[in-house]
């Protein structure tokens, strides 16, 4: 919601521009992204020198490190080598070998990523490390996008990125934005258990599941 169409279009354009910039920095799909180039630095040897990074990338890695410590490693931005094996398994239709998993594990572990806030620099302590901020980067991008919308005078906004939703102030004369979670059964997509709907304002929601993201290997889902 905006005072006029011109304000709405300018605000949306500014928000999408910030998202594009973050994608260029944080994508682990783009070989030329800042994140991918950072990981490639560990190919030549480890530990690497201290590598200065952009404010956006450092902030995403800082939050990732905080969550990794708080979750005792359940969330780990260094899981990139395993992510690559999983993507290959989906393409080729077979699970990675025990040897491939063991080799990848040598480059995984949040303690192998060091951050220096004073110089906004990063050091990688193992060879062939790859960073995967997929569990956190999209939410970070939504935060930045909503902040840009608010700065442009559009605080009544909903930002949606796939399974992640961020709500600003509610629409006029309403308590919140209407958000619903599909009630489809992942084991049998023809079964609809009814959507769960609620109102969301000044809050975020992230959903994850195997309804769309799954692979069948040797007859096993």
- Higher model confidence: residue 70 or residue 191? 70
The string of pLDDT tens digits covering residues 172-185 is 999 999 998 877 66
pLDDT of residue 207: 84
The per-residue pLDDT for 187 is 66
Strands 177-181 and 196-200: antiparallel
Sole residue written with tokens 């450092």: 58
**CA 79 to CA 61: how far, in whole Å?**
13
Question: How far apart are the C-alpha atoms of 203 and 100, rounded to whole Å?
Answer: 40
Q: For residue 84, what are its two tokens?
A: 């690559």
Q: Which tens digit of pLDDT belongs to each residue from 151-163?
A: 999 999 999 998 8
* CA count, 13 A, side-chain hemisphere, 95: 11
pLDDT for position 134: 85
pLDDT band at 85 (very low <50, low <70, confident <90, very high): very high
% of the chain at pLDDT higher than 70 = 96
Residues paired with residue 180 on neighbouring β-strands, in sequence order: 197
Average model confidence (pLDDT) across the chain? 92
pLDDT, tens only, 107-159: 999 999 999 999 999 999 999 999 999 888 999 999 999 999 999 999 999 99
The reported pTM is 0.84
Q: What angle do CA 54, 164, 73 make, to 5 degrees?
A: 65
> pLDDT band at residue 37, thresholds of 50, 70 and 90?
very high
Question: What average pLDDT does this structure show over 71-81?
Answer: 95
pLDDT at 211: 74
pLDDT band with cut points at 50, 70 and 90 for residue 186: low
- Cα separation, 163 vs 179, in Å, equals 11
pLDDT at 171 over 80: yes
* Distances from the Cα of 145 to the Cα of 11, 77, 85, 189, angstroms: 9, 22, 31, 33
DSSP the chain: --SSHHHHHHHHHHHHHHHHHHHHHH-SS-TTSHHHHHHHGGGG-SSPPPEE--HHHHHHHHHHHHHHHHTTTSS-TT-HHHHHHHHHHHHHTSPPPHHHHHHHHTT--GGGEEEETTTTEEEE-STT-----TTTHHHHHHHHHHHHHHHTT--S-EEEETTEEEE-SPPTTSSSEEEEE--EETTEEEEE---EEEEESSEEEE---TTTS---BTTB-
Residue 215 pLDDT level (bands cut at 50, 70, 90): confident
Q: Which two tokens stand for residue 216?
A: 């069948």
**pLDDT higher for 64 or 185?**
64
């Amino acid at each position: 919601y905006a005072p006029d169409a011109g304000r709405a279009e300018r605000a949306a354009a500014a928000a999408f521009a910030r998202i594009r910039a973050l994608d260029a920095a944080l994508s682990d799909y783009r070989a030329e992204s800042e994140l991918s180039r950072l990981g490639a630095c560990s190919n030549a040897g480890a530990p690497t020198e201290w590598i200065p990074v952009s404010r956006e990338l450092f902030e995403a890695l800082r939050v990732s490190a905080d969550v990794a410590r708080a979750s005792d490693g359940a969330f780990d931005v260094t899981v990139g080598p395993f992510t690559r094996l999983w993507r290959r398994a989906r393409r080729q239709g077979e699970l990675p070998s025990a040897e491939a998993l063991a080799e990848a594990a040598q480059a995984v572990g949040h303690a192998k990523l060091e951050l220096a806030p004073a110089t906004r620099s990063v050091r990688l302590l193992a060879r062939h490390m790859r960073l995967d901020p997929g569990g956190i980067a999209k939410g970070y991008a939504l935060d930045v996008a909503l902040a840009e919308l608010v700065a442009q005078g559009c605080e009544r906004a909903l930002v949606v990125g796939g399974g992640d939703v961020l709500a600003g102030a509610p629409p006029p004369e309403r308590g919140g934005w209407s958000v619903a979670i599909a009630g489809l059964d992942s084991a049998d997509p023809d079964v609809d258990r009814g959507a769960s709907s609620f109102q969301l304002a000044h809050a975020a929601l992230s959903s994850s599941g195997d309804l769309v993201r799954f692979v069948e290997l040797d007859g096993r889902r």
